[in-house]
Amino acid sequence: MRHSCFLCIGSNLPSRMRRLDDAIKALASCVSIIDVSDSIESPDFSGIGANYLNITVQCSTDLSLDDLRDAIRDIEVAQGRRDNSKASGHMPIDIDIVTFDDIIVSPCDFNRPYFSVCYRQLLNS
């Protein structure tokens, strides 16, 4: 069964756009990319890290939600994310599943201003 989803991707380390591009390329192994928003900068809400660069990706996949989470976790680890990345304020890559089959699976991310802007851009394109 094919599932639709919106992912939010962010990085706050140098070469942020390259890191986002690398994440999109890696995601192509488990999702079909439909559209990608423009990038938007946002503060690190913890207050300890540099500003993030964020994008939203509209995609579809045959994977279940749990299998997609596992695949994304593998991509994040391969791209340098560690268990303490968020706590240290140094996030090489962060990929969040925000919606899956029109169900909001991450309300916190769904309500973030940067996601709202990027999400609306994709819905209106």
How many angstroms separate the CA atoms of 112 and 74, rounded?
A: 24
Q: Which of 61-65, 87-91, 105-109 has the lowest mean pLDDT?
A: 87-91
**What is the pLDDT at residue 45?**
86
Q: Which residues contact 11 (CB under 8 A, 6 or more apart)?
A: 19, 20, 23, 52, 53, 91, 92, 93, 94
| Crossing angle for the helix pair 16-27 and 65-78, to the nearest 10 degrees | 140
> Counting every residue, how long is the chain?
125
**What is the pLDDT at residue 118?**
97
Q: Tell me the pLDDT band of 103, cut-offs 50, 70 and 90.
A: very high
End-to-end CA distance of the chain: 25
Q: Among candidates 35, 105, 28, 116, which has minimal Cα distance to 72?
A: 28
Q: Which residues contact 66 (CB under 8 A, 6 or more apart)?
A: none
**What is the pLDDT at residue 85?**
93
pLDDT in tens, 39-85: 999 999 888 999 999 999 999 999 999 999 999 999 999 999 999 99
Class of domain 3-123: alpha beta
